[in-house]
């Protein structure tokens, strides 16, 4: 090859390379390379708060779609969002956004299909729950100690029919709503706990569990003073209730009782993320911490009381804690619904997401 031809070809290659670089800049794609000669992209995993991780998860979920991703979870140790993906392209999209990609076998669409199949096969088996677990990339089905004999065999068959998309676990406790959990609120049907103070149409209300407002219509505080009456209730299906304060002048601070002489200010509501550290306050067992272990969980409490869309946690609770506050820092997360176990041996507790309750009632934290 002549020198002139070599120079012309090299010039063309340089122009192509320059055009490609310009295209990357125009597309807004930037990355660092650990070895410039090899051109291997190295993306930085962002250090995120649980709430920031939840927002990034929501954004990536919309961008990737349920066929390219399979949920996400927060790694509290590294403060990183881990996103399950099914392809290299999806993994690169996660890394560019600052998340950590994990290639898995089951898509979110497949796992949601598995939960629908379980809803049909296990809906008649009381004492069961099921939720997508992004850490294991499976639907985890839990049977409490009351599930035995033919009912357990039916559940086991339903799980096995889903192959590697589901697994069955046992709970030593019994799933039940915790009616009998913030500050105590009482009525003729028992005791629950106040969740969060809210405002609707300029008037003061509070949120609690729907199974509480189903059983009790008028409420008093722990000293027998009138608090208010039900303004809305949804249970089963969901588990939220709305109570209007008896007086518009009632003090209704946006805070949660920490049972140590202090309170936690609540400034808004947010969505839970698997792996998020959370705190629960209730009138029976007061304040306990734990971790979110699943989202969009379904629980069959028995007697036709099936609740969907719950937050699954390893936080303990006991009767009387129902309706109480689940929060992360200054953010309202959930209302105590029910579960198994207690705060001596530990257990599993489910919470109604607060944003869904606010939307249903047209209320705001305040």
Long-range contacts of 227-230 (CB under 8 A, 24+ apart): 227/185
Q: Which one of 133, 144, 234, 239 is the catalytic residue?
A: 239
Pairing of the two strands 190-193 and 196-200: unpaired
- Set 211, 238, 252, 288: catalytic member: 211
Q: Is 207 exposed, middle or buried (0-12, 13-18, 19+ CB in 10 A)?
A: buried
Instruction: Provide the 8-state DSSP code for 98.
Output: T
DSSP one-letter code for 124: T
Which residues partner with 292 through β-bridges?
313
The rounded distance, in Å, linking the Cα atoms of 70 and 56 is 15
Query: Cβ neighbours of residue 261 under 8 Å, at least 6 residues apart?
Result: none
Q: Shortest CA distance to 272 belongs to which of 244, 299, 251, 292?
A: 292
- Based on the residue annotation, tell me whether 322 is a catalytic residue of this protein: yes
Residue 171 burial class via C-beta count within 10 angstroms: exposed 0-12, middle 13-18, buried 19 and up = buried
- Is the peptide bond between 32 and the residue preceding it cis, with omega within 30 degrees of 0? no
Retrieve residue 310's tokens: 């719950």
CA distance 314 to 125: 22
Please tell me which residue in 193, 233, 322, 328 is annotated as part of the active site: 322
Q: Which two tokens stand for residue 46?
A: 């962002």
| C-alpha distances out from residue 215 to 30, 120, 241, 271, Å | 58, 28, 11, 28
The DSSP 8-state label assigned to residue 237 in this structure reads B
* Token pair listed for 136: 């294991």
Q: Would you name the residues annotated as active-site residues? A: 211, 239, 322
């Amino acid at each position: 090859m002549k020198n002139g031809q070599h120079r012309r070809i090299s010039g063309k290659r340089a122009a192509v390379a320059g055009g490609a670089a310009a295209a990357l800049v125009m597309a807004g794609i930037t990355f660092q390379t650990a070895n410039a000669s090899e051109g291997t992209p190295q993306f930085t995993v962002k250090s995120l708060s649980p709430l920031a991780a939840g927002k990034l998860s929501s954004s990536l979920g919309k961008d990737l779609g349920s066929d390219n991703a399979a949920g996400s979870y927060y790694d509290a140790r590294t403060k990183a969002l881990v996103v399950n993906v099914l392809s290299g392209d999806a993994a690169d999209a996660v890394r560019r956004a600052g998340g950590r990609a994990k290639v898995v076998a089951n898509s979110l669409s497949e796992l949601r299909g598995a939960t629908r199949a379980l809803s049909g096969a296990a809906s008649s088996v009381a004492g069961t729950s099921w939720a997508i677990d992004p850490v294991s990339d499976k639907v985890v089905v839990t049977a409490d100690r009351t599930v035995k004999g033919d009912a357990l065999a039916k559940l086991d068959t339903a799980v096995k029919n889903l192959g590697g998309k589901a697994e069955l676990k046992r709970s030593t406790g019994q799933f039940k709503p915790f009616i009998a959990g913030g500050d105590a609120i009482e009525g003729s049907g028992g005791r629950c706990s106040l969740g969060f103070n809210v405002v609707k149409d300029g008037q003061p209300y509070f949120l609690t569990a729907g199974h509480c407002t189903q059983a009790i219509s008028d409420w008093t505080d722990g000293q027998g003073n009138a608090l208010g009456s039900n303004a809305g209730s949804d249970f089963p299906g969901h588990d939220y209730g709305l109570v209007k304060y008896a007086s518009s002048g009632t003090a209704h601070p946006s805070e949660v009782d920490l049972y140590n002489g202090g309170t936690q200010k609540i400034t808004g509501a947010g969505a839970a993320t698997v792996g998020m550290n959370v705190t629960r306050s209730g009138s029976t067992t007061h304040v306990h911490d734990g971790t979110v272990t699943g989202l969009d969980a379904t629980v069959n409490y028995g007697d036709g009381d099936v609740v969907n869309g719950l937050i699954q946690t390893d936080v303990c609770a006991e009767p009387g804690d129902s309706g109480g506050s689940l929060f992360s820092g200054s953010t309202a997360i959930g209302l105590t619904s029910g579960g198994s176990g207690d705060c001596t041996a530990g257990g599993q507790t489910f919470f109604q997401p607060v944003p869904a309750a606010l939307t249903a009632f047209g209320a705001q934290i305040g």
